[in-house]
Amino acid sequence: EKLKERAGYRTVFIGKWHLGFAQKAYAPTRRGFEEFYGILTGGGDHFEHSSTETVAMRGPEYKQRATVMTGYNLWHNDVPVPLEEHQGVHTTTLYTRKTVEYINQMFPSGLPVFLVLAYQAIHAPIQGSPKARQCPTAATGKRRAMCQMIASV
């Protein structure tokens, strides 16, 4: 907020938020970012853009309560991104494209930009992009997928 107010910065967060979303007040667009594109949780399927999370309820009235949630998890600001737009595209590719798009859109304005790119890779689930060709052919299974994820970043 201070960057925007005092120095006129444009602020963008792309990627894995993982800083809370139980209430709207915790969302990136309520925490100083005018633009957000990514997931709200700590991880999720890199191609289907869905997440399964166990959320521990806090406070004296909940004590031991935990809730498991599964669902689509790719957002632009406070709106889900239509699945058909990006299904099958690895998150690293998706976040890189979106970052380049924001840079091309914002930098010509001459205003300063604070842009955070928080890749979801190399986070579980271990799902490499087949387009990452830098990995040795000897690597197989999860080892190859891990190599693909690292090479993509």
Residue 61: φ, ψ to 5°: -75, -15
More confident of the two residues 12 and 58: 12
In tens, the pLDDT along 52-102 reads 777 666 666 656 667 777 788 899 998 999 988 888 899 999 999 999 999
Report the distance separating Cα 30 and Cα 10, nearest Å: 14
Q: Work out the average pLDDT over 5-26.
A: 85
Q: Which residue has the higher pLDDT, 18 or 117?
A: 117
Tokens of 40: 């709200």
Query: What pLDDT was estimated at residue 146?
Result: 83
Instruction: Answer whether residue 10 shows pLDDT above 80.
Output: yes
Model confidence, pTM: 0.82
Q: Is 32 left (phi over 0), alpha (psi -120 to 50) or beta?
A: left
How far apart CA 93 and CA 90 sit, in angstroms, is 5
Q: Order the strands of the 113-118 sheet from edge to edge.
A: 79-80, 75-76, 35-39, 10-16, 113-118
Residue with tokens 């595209």: 89
The answer to whether the CB of 131 falls within 8 A of the CB of 28 is: no
